[in-house]
Structure 1
Amino acid sequence: MENKPRETFLITGGSGYFGHRLACSLYKKGARVILFDTVPPLQEVPDDIVFVQGDICDYDQVEKALAGVDCVFHIASYGMSGREQLNRHLIEAVNVQGTHHVLKACVENRVSRLVYTSTFNVVFGGQVIENGDESLPYLPLHLHPDHYSRTKSLAEMAVLKANDTALKDSSEVLRTCALRPAGIYGPGEQRHLPRIVGYIERGIFRFVYGKSSSLVEFVHVDNLVLAHELAAEALTPEKQRRSAGQAYFISDGKPVNNFEFFRPLIEGLGYPFPKLRLPISLIYFFAFLTEMIHHLVGPFYNFQPLLTRTEVYKTGVTHYFSMGKAKVELGYEPQEYNLNEVVQWFKCRGHGKQSHNSFLGQFLLNILFAAAFVAMVLSFLPVVGS
């Protein structure tokens, strides 16, 4: 039997947490792997994994990096959370222009497969969604509460539209698909979990918000790796290219209250779970004020907002989706995971109850309650002109 040729995969944004995990999985299965990113990976990678330093906003660098590649995992993005969400110019450049650069470079280099890492946000903007599926329309662009979600929608549309584009000097065409993951977690995740643990340790995480019955979803990093590998395989002729031109929601398939999901982490680090529950409208108003303040002082002091409006919606409003399409067309069967590994990862790095509450944490908490008081006062004031 003739051996299957060794495939070459390029991962944009490959130095990040998920990119590194995907790269190592592909490498273990015998693939050649190229990481394309602006910075080298923080974690160790096998010597045979190639790192190419480059900026997705620079087309020439992208085009050069894609030479000889069989499949691209386009996961690079900017503006997902925190103060990054407020940098509209860079969000646009990376998420929209960068995606067009990748698509053009695929055509020029005759790369026949591209898997795009999208987001739930392309259909969600704060409205309740229960067991939604891929038949849901894109959220109208003007209804997105943040520029990240808006640009991810535009990028996903461009990727799926590019399916069946003829490759340069070839009879082949480009096959594309998009995965829409929930919030990613796992040991070593560097975007959301350290921020949450920081709030816990500084004494800021003293309350929850929204209804206790609200449900959201998460996806373990290894389930997301599995989904990407299956999606890339489903773009091949051997799998009848069944994922070509398609989008798929990806999660662990277990809707859960956002704060209850993090209870094992909070209590595992030795902290009490908050008993105070605030209305989501109040927290949304606080996030709105924070964004307005950041807009004014951001050019001089780029502080990290406690929450943005989008983060309030994503954590406090019910939205979860069916995995039916991914299971049938990709063969996706998520494995069961919990936060035990995450708790141990933080404990091994000195986190836990021994970290005392700081003055800054209490100060920020006082600001939050002051904002809550102002919000309530304003709600009783007469509207000018009424």
Structure 2
Amino acid sequence: MATRLRPVSVLFKYLTVCNASKKCTVIGGSGFLGQHMVERLLDKGYSVNVFDIRQGFKNEQVQFFIGDLCSKKDLLPSLQGVNVVFHCASPAPSSDNKELFYKVNYTGTMTVIEACKEVGVQKLVLTSSASVIFEGRDIKHGTEDLPYAKKPIDYYTETKILQEKQRMGHVQEVLKANDPANNFLTVAIRPHGIFGPRDPQLVPILVETAKSGKMKFMIGDGKNLVDFTYVENVVHGHILAGEHLQKDSPLCGKAYHITNDEPIPFWAFLTRILIGLNYDAPKYLIPYWLAYYLAFFLSFLVFILGPLIKIKPTFTPMRVALAGTYHYYSCERAKKDMGYKPVVSLDQAVERTIKSYSHLRRAS
């Protein structure tokens, strides 16, 4: 009798392992990237938990956990029985709240690592940023082997670097936390220029800038190539990483660039979005060096007047660098190690994005 039941018990054990491997938590799952990730994971048959500071959408297939990322007590219930965690929580890069950047991107990530280890989560996939190697100078076909920026372009980037790398006296950062001996594996995904439907940043800000008449000038000669990455491709890269992250796999403790693999002139991309929504494209050129020094002077002025007048400049050296330099990245490592290939072309992505923002179209 026992011999007859053995195949059944083996099958039950196999199915239990399979079900566990398909259970995941998306930290920051109520955000732009997080929601797209949740939807794709559900399509692929995953059981999904969402941990966030708020519930950003309704879905009966998802179990929501609301709490503070820096509280291990809040985090632990969302990680029970989970095999893989996708950590994509982060404040918007356009924010100037340094305290929040450090709290979420660094302190919160340390808490995630501790909580994952405590409950036996096997895999952690971090959403990092390609900007961790960008210092405001040209990068062409940038690889993951380039060093971290010694002078990050902003504090957001500085805290993203802290997520990935090891600092003196600390051993818990994501890539250094990779520990195959104790069955805890980590990988960092570095997207660049994420855009797509429901994006609260790029397209809405671009439209507001155009409405205010501030999109008449193009910085530089308009030839600088930049990566813009459709959100579905970013999601695809994360899920591939989670599925390929195994003991002795090349992904362990590594960072991977994920882009559309179609660098495009920065101003050509913005022009396509603007014209698609019936706004005028930039017409006039400002030399890069002139724009940079004007922005630098303005920032210095704001610093001097800061104690007297509260001003938040939008024309900054960092934004000038992003608009006027080459910065695009190689996906060869992701292609080789996890079979990454964009699932949506740039043309399709721009078309879908413009269609999704038809409510922002300017009346003729």
TM-score where L is the length of structure 1: 0.81
Report what 2:30 is aligned to.
Answer: 15
Provide the aligned length of Structure 1 versus Structure 2: 339
Q: How does 1:207-222 map to 2 (within 5 A)?
A: 207-222=217-232
State whether structure 2 residue 339 is matched by structure 1 residue 331: yes
Provide the rounded CA distance (Å) in 2 between the counterparts of 1:293 and 1:38: 36
Report the equivalent of 1:51: 64
The share of aligned pairs that are identical, in percent, is: 34
Give the Cα separation in 1 of the matches to 2:63 and 2:320.
Answer: 39
Of residues 156, 174, 183 in structure 2, which corresponds to 1:159?
174
Superposed displacement of residue 302, structure 1: 7.0
Aligned residue identity for 1:181: P
Q: Give 1:5's aligned residue.
A: 19
Counting only pairs closer than 5 Å after superposition, residues 90-105 of structure 1 correspond to structure 2 as 90-105=100-115
State the partner residue of 2:124.
114
Partner of 1:340: 351
User: Structure 2 vs 1, CA of residues 95 and 200 (structure 1 numbering), >3 Å: closer, same or farther?
Assistant: same
Aligned equivalents of 1:75 and 1:66: distance in 2? 15
Cα distance, 1:307 vs. partner? 3.7
Q: Return the match for 1:88 from 90, 94, 98.
A: 98
- Conserved 8 A contact 1:36-1:51: yes
Give 1:328 deviation, angstroms.
Answer: 0.6
Displacement of 1:177 after TM fit? 0.5
Q: In 2, distance between residues paired with 1:135 and 1:94? A: 26
Q: Secondary structure at the match of 1:262?
A: helix
**How far off is 1:353 after superposition?**
3.9
1:1-386 alignment, distance < 5 Å: 3=15, 4-6=18-20, 7-41=22-56, 44-81=57-94, 84=95, 86-140=96-150, 143-157=151-165, 158-164=173-179, 172-236=182-246, 241-289=249-297, 291=299, 305-335=313-343, 336-338=345-347, 339-347=350-358, 349-354=359-364
TM superposition shift of 1:271 = 2.3
Per the normalisation by structure 2, the TM-score is: 0.86
On the 8 A contact 2:223/2:266 being kept in 1, the answer is no
- Measured at CA, do residues 80 and 15 of structure 1 come closer, stay the same or move farther in structure 2, by a change above 3 Å? same
1:66–1:285 CA distance, 2 compared to 1 (3 A): farther
Distance 1:296 1:25, change over 3 A: farther
Structure 1: segments with no counterpart, 5+ residues: 167-171, 355-386
Instruction: Report the Cα distance in structure 2 between the residues aligned to 1:29 and 1:112, rounded to whole angstroms.
Output: 19
Distance 1:301 1:109 in 2: 49
The residue type equivalent to 2:30 in the other structure is: S
- For residue 5 of structure 1, what is the amino acid of its counterpart? N
Counterparts of 1:287 and 1:36 in 2: how far apart (Å)? 39
Q: Distance in 2 between matches of 1:298 and 1:18?
A: 34
The answer (yes or no) to whether the contact 1:79–1:87 under 8 Å persists in 2 is no
Per-residue CA deviations over 1:188-247 (Å, capped at 9, x if unaligned) read 21122100111112222111102322111011001111100000011135xx53311111
CA gap of 1:12–1:305, structure 2 versus 1, over 3 A, is farther
Task: Identify if the C-alpha distance between structure 1 residues 301 and 350 changes in structure 2 by more than 3 Å, giving closer, same or farther.
Answer: farther
Deviation at 1:180, TM superposition (A): 0.8
Q: How many Å separate the matches in 1 of 2:353 and 2:308?
A: 35
Partner of 2:169: none
**Contact 1:234 1:242 survives alignment (8 Å):** no
Amino acid at match of 2:257: F
Q: CA offsets per residue over residues 159-210 of structure 1, 9 Å max, x none?
A: 11000176xxxxx421000111010111221122100111112222111102
User: 2:74 corresponds to which letter in structure 1?
Assistant: Q
Over 3 Å counting, the alpha-carbon distance change for 1:25 and 1:79 in structure 2 is closer
Cα offset for 1:284?
2.9
